[in-house]
Amino acid sequence: MQLRTRSHHGLATKMSSSAQVVGENAGASEGAGNLLSVNNIEVIYDHVILVLKGVSLEVPKGKIVAILGANGAGKTTTLKAISNLLHAERGEVTKGSIEYDGQHVQASSPNDLVKRGVIQVMEGRHCFEHLTIEENLLTGAYTRSDGSAAIDASLEKVYAYFPRLKERRTSQAGYTSGGEQQMCAIGRALMSNPKMILLDEPSMGLAPQLVEEIFEIVNELNKKEGVSILLAEQNTNIALRYADYGYILENGRVVMDGPASSLRENEDVKEFYLGLSTAGRKSFRDVKHYRRRKRWLG
């Protein structure tokens, strides 16, 4: 079992005995097989607020990589830095580099990235509520130029993965359930023939059974279509079940990364993110000790 822990400005590097510290250049795989490489980026909002502090990660071709962490850790900002959507929120990447498919993409516009196969499914689903499910799906093919027959074939493929959408194809999206809207958002991303999907909090606000169903479909898309997935998720338990590799963010920094199977077995990850502990249930008076033991925070 091999995990990487990281130290920043006095952060303690001692972790549980199951974690092995490795070099800073280690990662999800060798660089030649990476579709995406994020190298030591910093993100600032409004020229003042430093949100990401030297984040590095890699997404190998055809793999699922999870970015894990609590609300406010920097997961969504990382995805928006990759898809170049930060400028709409007065944010910018001030240091580091982002490479997709072997080329630097910081200067690319979001629509250029879509044409190159990078699609972000936003947190909160963001369907066009006044359009039908099918009209929503077809908006995902707006940048394509391969003809109506190819688009129709893609639409049928989406319906094959999401049979419920085919049943609701004529329904106005605003009147469908949260689970159906999430399926619609992922299906819309598929309509643009992506190489990589940036999937932001797909479990948010959904019943556990629906979360399981959506993650099963995402896993199937990855395995059958070869679509690489970069997943930002607070639900660490389900994310590590489906991911190949994971990065844990705290306060805008990557504090630990490793294969998902290794992260699942790490005692600190079990305690702080999966709610499991070899010491059993904690009492209220243990909270101070709990905070102190979260030693990767500065």
In a domain, 8, yes or no: yes
| 18 and 261 Cβ atoms separated by less than 8 Å | no
pLDDT confidence band for 268 (50 / 70 / 90): confident
For 216, other C-beta atoms within 10 Å of its C-beta total 11
| Cα 193 to Cα 35, 98, 184, 188, distances in angstroms | 15, 22, 15, 10
**What pLDDT score does 121 carry?**
94
Tell me the pLDDT tens digit for each residue of 63-77: 999 999 988 899 999
pLDDT of residue 289: 44
Q: Is 165 inside any structural domain?
A: no
Q: Tell me: the pLDDT tens digits for 118-142?
A: 999 998 878 999 999 999 999 999 9
Encoding tokens for residue 195? Answer: 């190489």
The pLDDT, as a whole number, for residue 30 is 45
Domain that includes residue 262, residue range: 4-60+71-117+235-293
Total length of the chain: 298
Which domain CATH number covers 102? 3.40.50.300
Please indicate, yes or no, if residue 266 is contained in any of the structural domains: yes
* Domain presence at residue 249: yes
Sheet (strand 49-60) strand order: 49-60, 34-45, 91-100, 103-104
Kindly indicate the confidence band of residue 291, based on its pLDDT and cuts at 50, 70 and 90. very low
Q: Per the structure, how many domains does the chain have? A: 1
Q: Is residue 263 part of a domain?
A: yes
> Does residue 272 form part of some domain?
yes
Residue 141, in any domain of the structure: no
pLDDT interval class at 270 (50, 70, 90) = confident
The verdict on residue 279 lying in a domain is yes
Distance CA 158, CA 153 (A): 9
Residue 2, pLDDT above cutoff 70 = no
Supply the pLDDT for residue 6. Answer: 65
What is the bridge-based pairing of β-strands 91-100 and 253-259? unpaired
Q: What is the pLDDT of residue 27?
A: 47
Percent of residues in the chain assigned helix, strand, coil, to nearest 5: 35, 25, 40
Q: Residue 219 pLDDT more than 70?
A: yes
Nearest-angstrom CA–CA distance, 113 and 106: 10
Q: What single string gives the DSSP state of each residue in 222-253?
A: HHHH--EEEEEES-HHHHHHH-SEEEEEETTE
